[in-house]
Amino acid sequence: MIRHLARVIICVFIFVFYLSSNCYAENKTEVSVETSNVTGNKWTLPYVSAHSAILIDALTGDILYERDANTKRPPASTTKILTVIIALEMAEVDEISTVSEKADQVGESSIYLNRGNKITLGELIEGALIRSGNDACVAIAEQTAGSLDEFIRLMNLKAVALGAYNSNFVNPNGLPDKDHYSTAYDLAVIARYAMNNPAFAGIVSQKYATIQYKQPIKSQAAKNTNKLLWNYPFADGIKTGTTSAAGKCLVASASKEGRRLICVLLNAPDRFGDAQRLMEWGFNYTEIITIGKKGDQVATYPIAGTNIPAVLAEDVIVCVEKAKIKNLKQDAQLNKGLSGNIKAGEVLGSYYIYVNDKLLKKSVLVAPQDFASSPLNFFKDLLKKEG
């Protein structure tokens, strides 16, 4: 119990810190760019059956395609992405869980846990992601946070901390509930974060697994529910979901020639076909462009009778349609009112990247080092401003 309480306290602190940094860091702003339907008099966007869909570049987070991506819908078992990433971050995979009556009684998709079974958290995670066990998710929640209710609270904290603001979770597995919902965009944000965890990425890329129990000693074969792993050679994850309320859903990942794309399809009759068509379109018609590197000077800031460099605070990388690369534009806007001494890293302004006059990305301009102005230059600058 003490271990669970300590985990919860640490987790809440991390989530609050992460949320605060997201709220105040200007360079996290990302804005969707509309994709064109026609390039060179030819239709380039693929047919998509999903009611809600989104395709993003995993490196930059840029939206390459979307349809009703912010509409709230039942996410079904794609919920388990969030469940597992929390467990991987809060607990150890070799911890042994004793299955509770609550986990035993969970219905529908199952790995057939029985009350009193002993099984490691790592095996439960494989059961949740590969076999899509609803019971495994309840056991994961109880082992990680001490209770199902506490774990659900942590799920919602984590979602907000990641920027998934239009989601609400009331269970760890995605079983239907009117208050359990997410969006294609939110699930893409969560999946992008999860795929940065090597353990998570390794599990969701597996076609098969063998789930081992500690008590009673037995093993259980599991086949991944994600048929895209068989149908598309570049697929490497992530999670299916199906209920009568949600329809057929899929969060998918594919990697090709050093790039990774993530797509989300909600209520998609042809989810695997949708995913393959979107991924191929993304790989063929979009490209990652490096606008500038961290430390590159893109402007000068006049202060106290001198000019100091304004440099990029981070690498500025965008992903856009190849046909629109020629339309990329940059604009540096400097803050007003700075005077006196400047410290290294002090924000001097913002750097905007546009495509076809639509904002694609915003970054921060900073001072590369300390700059101390002389009193004479300070007064000259003050007189110039007053004059």
Catalytic residues: 77, 80, 132
Query: Per-residue DSSP letters for 227-283?
Result: THHHH-TTEEEEEEEEETTTEEEEEEEEEETTEEEEEEEES-TTHHHHHHHHHHHHH
CA 3 to chain centre: 28
Which is nearest to 229 in space by CA: 129, 362, 369, 108? 129
- Tell me the sheet residues that pair with 263: 55, 252
Residue 349: enclosing H or E segment and its boundaries?
Answer: strand 347-355
What is the residue type of 84?
V
> What are the backbone dihedrals phi and psi of residue 278, each rounded to the nearest 5 degrees, phi first?
-65, -45
Query: Per-residue DSSP letters for 53-77?
Result: EEEEETTT--EEEEESTTS-B--GG
Give the dihedral sign, CA 13/17/23/29.
negative
How distant, in Å, are the alpha carbons of 21, 62, 165, 307 from that of 28?
9, 11, 15, 28
- Reduced to 3 states (helix: H, G, I; strand: E, B; else coil), residue 359 is strand
Residue 22: enclosing H or E segment and its boundaries?
Answer: helix 2-24
Exposure string (b/e) for 54-90, b if CB count within 10 Å is 16 or more?
A: bbbbbebbbbbbbbbbeeebbbbbbbbbbbbbbbbbb
Q: What is the DSSP letter of 342?
A: B
User: How far is residue 265's CA from residue 69's CA, in Å, rounded to a whole number?
Assistant: 9
